[in-house]
Amino acid sequence: MALFRKRERHQRNVLESPQYGWIWKPLVALLAIYLVVCVGLGVWWSQRPGDFNVDDAVGVQRGAAQSSGAEAASDAPRPGETVTATTLTLLGSLLDKPGGYLRNDIAPPGLWLDNMPSWEHGVLGQVRAMSATLTDPIASDDDDVQQAVDALSTRSDAWRFPSAEGRYQEAREALRDYLGRLSGQQADFSQDAPALAAWLERVQTRLDQQTQRLAASVGSSERRSADIETGEDGESTPWWRIDNVFFEARGNTWALVHLLKAAKRDFAPAIEEAGVGKAFDRLIDELEASQARVWSPVVLNGSGFGIFANHSLMMANYTLRASQLIQEIRSDLGSQ
């Protein structure tokens, strides 16, 4: 009887005080799997798209334009095709890379990333600058280009009503239509020196702004040693945003390398007449050097001859020298 009473008490205790510890084990396991997947995707999505050949981009983008209804073009690129195709390829790198466009993500893992979204913002800035210059004086207020400019002006972090991706896709379609009409000799593209100088002025302004932001990430003594001037009222970049500024500069210069290579082809007559071909090559080399691999897992701002590098200062040196070269090129173009 004692045995039965003991068993009855045990059963009653189990019913009155059930144990739910087993429920947490699968939940913890699912959470761990979710975090591992998010980290893996985050690492994959943070890989920068590869470089591309601007001449090959013309053929690829021609095919995309023809699939949209444009007429077939001749083999030799017409003036403006290389610049437009390169701009389209840069825009496609934002929309089609692994993970797609991340800057406006509101859910993990995109929400947790900041380096790639900052890189995207740098590329987007150069795409906007080129598209804006195409409207005037290069393309004489072309309707398709103006439509692309309007779509690209959408906030980079807009995620609905409308989303940034949706608007940038509209810009891509408009630029494809413009490329198709360029191929069919139904659109204008100016190859003269003032048109090139107008774009370079926008580029230089962006580089100067980028240099100021990079310089604000380092100490005043480092800025003086690098001969980088900053405004007296400039604010220092918070330490948690230093990597964002650095990767935005990387995206900025990466896109600019490709656009300069394209411009060297489409504006060849103006470049040759002004005798700035070698300066263009030095400018491209300077910006390509800024894309060297960063071996450190984090962006560092060391000082002096310490054991840590100063990534922001190095990038500021590249953007500063690039700006100075652009000023020389603009001066030579203006003298023509």
Residues making up the chain, counted from first to last? 336
Q: Answer yes or no: is pLDDT of 260 > 50.
A: yes
* pLDDT for residue 73: 52
What is the pLDDT averaged over residues 135-159?
88
The confidence score (pLDDT) of residue 229 equals 59
Angstrom CA distances, 203 to 80, 137, 156, 318, 331, stand at 18, 15, 19, 14, 14
The mean pLDDT value for 43-52 works out to: 92
The tokens for 197 are 């100088």
3-state secondary structure 259-324: HHHHHHHHCHHHHHHHCCHHHHHHHHHHHHHCCCCCCCCCCCECCCCCCCCEHHHHHHHHHHHHHH
Contacts of 264 (CB under 8 A, 6+ apart): 271, 277, 280, 284
Residue 233: pLDDT band with limits 50, 70, 90: very low
Judge whether 220 and 329 are in contact, CB under 8 Å. no
Task: Report the half-sphere exposure of 144 (CA within 13 A, side-chain side).
Answer: 17
| pTM for the model | 0.87
Residue among 306, 282, 309 nearest 296 (CA):
309
Number of H helices, E strands in the chain: 13, 0
pLDDT tens per residue across span 172-224 = 999 999 999 998 889 889 899 999 999 999 999 999 999 999 888 775 555 55
CB 102 within 8 A of CB 110: yes
Average pLDDT along the chain = 85
pLDDT of residue 160: 85
The distance in angstroms from the start CA to the end CA of the chain is: 113
Phi first, then psi: give them for residue 301, nearest 5 degrees. Answer: -130, 65
Rounded CA gap, 198 and 276, in Å? 16
- Report the share of the chain in percent with pLDDT over 70: 82
Residue-range domain boundaries for the chain: 54-114+142-188, 191-336
Give the bridge partners for 163, in sequence order: 159
Q: Tens of pLDDT along 114-128? A: 899 999 999 999 999
| Nearest one of 50, 45, 120 to 291, comparing CA atoms | 50
If pLDDT is split at 50, 70 and 90, which confidence band does 28 have?
confident
pLDDT computed for residue 311 by the predictor: 82
Backbone angles phi, psi at 335, to 5 degrees: -80, -5
Residue 288 pLDDT > 70, yes or no?
A: yes
How buried is 327 (Cβ within 10 angstroms: 0-12 exposed, 13-18 middle, 19+ buried)? middle
Residues sharing a CB contact under 8 Å with residue 179, sequence separation 6 or more, in sequence order: 61, 62, 65, 70, 81, 84, 85, 88
